[in-house]
C-alpha cells in the first residue's frame, strides 16, 4: 500500500533547484496577480472618472441654460451615449433626449454622480441638478467602462501566467548554473576514499559562499583522511614487520634443523605458481605466465610456495613494467624462471644477493626489504634437493629454480652459527 502523507504535512518538491524555482514562481505570480487586480481597478476608476466628467459637463451646461430662462428643447438634448431629462416640480417631463425610452430614475442626489439601474436591467451613471424646482437628470451608459476593464483584465490573464512561466524558466536555468560547483564538489567527495587521502574538492572562484564551503569541506577532509592515511601506513608497516619476523623464525628453525625433514607429498607446482601470481595481479608490473606448463613433483607445498612467493615479490619490487614467469620439465627436473626488466644485478654481486641481510648499493637496493627473501628461497630449494641461481645478462634479473621431480633426498644443510 502507498503510505498516505501525514495530516498537516506539506508536500514540497525534492530538489533545491525545484524548490527555489517553485518559490520564485509563486512569489512572482502573487505579486503580478495583486498588481493586475490593482491595475484593473485603477483602469475602471479612470474610465468611470472620465464618464463622470462628461456627465458633469452636460449637466452644468443645461443648468446654465435653465437659469437663463431658456428651457432646453428635445433637439438640444441629442447627445451621443448620453440621455437627458428635464423634470418639473410636479413631475412633468419638460424635455427629454429623443432616444430615451421611459423615465430616468428620480435620484435624490443633486451633485455627485451615482450608479443606478434602469427598469430594463442596465446600469447607468446618473448626475442630477436642481434649478428653481426644475430637476435636470443626465445619464450615461457604462459599456465603455465595462469593455475597457474587460480588455485589460483579459490581457493580464494571459500576460501574468506567461510572464511567470518565462521567469520560472530563467530561475531554473540560473539556479542550475549556480549549483554546478556544488554538484562538482559532490561528485569529487563521492570519489574520495581512504586510499587517496590527498584528493580535495575543487574551489570555485565565485560565488564567495560556495568557495568558503569548498574550503571548509577540504579542511574537514584533511581532518578525516589524515588519520586514515596514518592508519594505512601503520598497517602496512605492521604487515612488513610481521613478514620479517616470519622470515627470522623460519631461518632460526632451519638453523636448528627443524626444517631438515621435508614433508613430501604430491605438489602441482603450476597450480601453486598460478595462485601466487593471481594474488599479485594488483601489482604495478604486468605478469606474463604464458610459459607456465603443468608440472607435478613431490615436496613440501608450503615451503615451495614460500620460495616461489619470495621470487615473485623480488621481481615485482624491481621490475619496470613486466615480470615473466615460466615453468617446465627438463630431464626429470622442474625448472622455474622468474625474470624482471628492472635495473639488473652485476655479475660479481649475483651470489651476494642470496646472503642473509644483503642489500646491494645499486638501484635494486631501494625496495625496503630486509635482504632475507632470496636466501630463504635458496635454502628451501636446497632442502628439496634443488638449486636457485641468478643467471642471464643485460638489463633485469633472471632467477632459475630447479627442483627434482622425484622424492627429494636433500643433504643436511650446514648449520650457521
Residue 253 lies in a domain: yes
- 8: confidence class by pLDDT, cuts 50, 70, 90: very low
DSSP secondary structure string, 40-77?
A: HHHHHHHHHHHHHHHHHHHHHHHHHHHHTT-PPPGGGG
Residue 168 lies in a domain: no
The residue among 120, 146, 172 that closes a domain is: 146
How many other CB atoms are there within 10 angstroms of residue 280's CB atom? 15
- 197: confidence class by pLDDT, cuts 50, 70, 90: low
Tell whether 368 and 270 lie within a shared domain: yes
The region of weakest confidence among 170-179, 217-226, 335-344 is: 217-226
Tell whether 272 and 396 lie within a shared domain: yes
* pTM as predicted: 0.45
- 404: confidence class by pLDDT, cuts 50, 70, 90: very high
Beta-carbon contacts of 202 under 8 Å, excluding residues fewer than 6 positions away, are 181, 184, 185, 188, 214
Residue 409 lies in a domain: no
- Number of domains into which the chain is organized: 3
pLDDT tens digits, 203-245: 766 667 777 777 777 777 766 668 655 666 666 667 666 666 6
The confidence score (pLDDT) of residue 42 equals 92
Closest among 103, 131, 101, 104 to 115, alpha carbons compared: 104
- 414: confidence class by pLDDT, cuts 50, 70, 90: very low
Residue 393 lies in a domain: yes
The region of weakest confidence among 34-43, 140-149, 196-205, 288-297 is: 196-205
The confidence score (pLDDT) of residue 196 equals 58
Tell whether 267 and 135 lie within a shared domain: no
Beta-carbon contacts of 39 under 8 Å, excluding residues fewer than 6 positions away, are 152, 156
Closest among 355, 370, 379 to 240, alpha carbons compared: 370
For cell 622442474, name the residue: 334
CA–CA distance, 285 with 314 (Å, rounded to integer): 12
Q: What is the CATH number of the domain that holds 391?
A: 3.30.565.10
Domain range for 53 is 16-146
Q: Which of 74-83, 124-133, 251-260 has the highest mean pLDDT?
A: 124-133
CA distances from 40 to 44, 114, 153, 214 (A): 6, 20, 6, 50
Tell whether 201 and 93 lie within a shared domain: no
The confidence score (pLDDT) of residue 107 equals 63
The confidence score (pLDDT) of residue 165 equals 92
Residue 117 lies in a domain: yes
Q: Judge whether residue 346 has pLDDT over 90.
A: no
The region of weakest confidence among 158-167, 300-309, 375-384, 393-402 is: 393-402
How many other CB atoms are there within 10 angstroms of residue 64's CB atom? 12
The confidence score (pLDDT) of residue 375 equals 86
Amino acid at each position: 500500500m502507498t503510505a498516505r502523507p501525514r495530516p498537516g504535512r506539506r508536500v514540497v518538491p525534492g530538489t533545491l533547484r525545484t524548490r527555489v524555482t517553485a518559490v520564485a514562481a509563486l512569489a512572482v505570480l502573487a505579486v503580478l496577480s495583486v498588481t493586475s487586480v490593482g491595475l484593473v481597478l485603477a483602469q475602471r476608476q479612470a474610465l468611470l472618472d472620465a464618464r463622470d466628467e462628461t456627465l458633469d459637463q452636460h449637466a452644468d451646461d443645461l443648468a446654465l441654460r435653465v437659469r437663463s430662462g431658456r428651457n432646453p428643447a428635445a433637439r438640444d438634448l441629442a447627445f451621443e451615449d448620453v440621455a437627458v431629462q428635464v423634470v418639473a416640480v410636479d413631475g412633468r417631463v419638460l424635455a427629454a433626449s429623443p432616444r430615451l425610452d421611459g423615465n430616468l430614475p428620480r435620484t435624490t442626489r443633486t451633485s455627485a454622480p451615482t450608479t443606478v439601474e434602469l427598469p430594463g436591467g442596465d446600469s447607468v451613471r446618473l448626475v442630477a441638478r436642481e434649478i428653481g424646482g426644475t430637476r435636470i437628470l443626465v445619464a450615461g451608459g457604462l459599456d465603455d467602462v465595462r469593455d475597457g476593464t474587460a480588455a485589460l483584465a483579459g490581457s493580464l490573464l494571459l500576460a501574468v501566467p506567461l510572464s511567470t512561466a518565462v521567469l520560472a524558466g530563467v530561475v531554473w536555468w540560473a539556479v542550475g548554473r549556480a549549483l554546478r560547483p556544488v554538484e562538482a564538489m559532490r561528485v569529487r567527495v563521492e570519489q574520495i576514499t581512504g586510499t587517496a587521502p590527498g584528493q580535495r574538492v575543487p574551489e570555485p572562484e565565485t560565488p564567495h559562499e560556495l568557495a568558503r564551503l569548498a574550503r571548509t569541506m577540504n579542511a574537514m577532509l584533511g581532518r578525516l583522511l589524515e588519520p586514515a592515511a596514518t592508519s594505512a601506513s601503520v598497517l602496512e608497516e605492521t604487515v612488513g614487520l610481521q613478514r620479517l619476523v616470519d622470515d627470522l623464525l623460519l631461518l632460526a628453525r632451519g638453523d636448528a634443523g627443524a626444517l631438515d625433514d621435508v614433508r613430501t607429498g604430491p605438489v602441482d607446482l603450476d597450480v601453486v605458481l598460478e595462485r601466487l601470481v593471481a594474488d599479485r595481479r594488483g601489482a604495478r608490473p604486468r605478469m606474463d605466465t604464458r610459459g607456465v606448463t603443468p608440472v607435478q613433483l613431490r615436496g613440501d607445498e608450503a615451503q615451495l610456495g614460500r620460495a616461489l612467493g619470495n621470487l615473485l615479490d623480488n621481481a615485482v619490487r624491481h621490475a619496470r613494467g613486466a615480470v615473466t614467469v615460466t615453468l617446465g620439465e627438463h630431464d626429470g627436473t622442474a625448472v622455474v624462471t622468474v625474470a624482471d626488466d628492472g635495473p639488473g644485478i652485476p655479475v660479481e654481486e649475483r651470489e651476494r644477493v642470496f646472503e642473509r641481510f644483503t642489500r646491494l648499493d645499486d638501484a635494486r637496493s631501494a625496495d625496503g626489504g630486509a635482504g632475507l627473501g632470496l636466501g630463504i628461497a635458496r635454502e628451501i630449494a636446497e632442502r628439496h634437493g634443488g638449486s636457485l641461481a641468478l643467471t642471464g645478462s643485460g638489463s633485469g634479473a633472471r632467477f632459475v629454480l630447479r627442483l627434482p621431480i622425484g622424492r627429494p633426498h636433500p643433504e643436511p644443510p650446514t648449520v650457521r652459527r
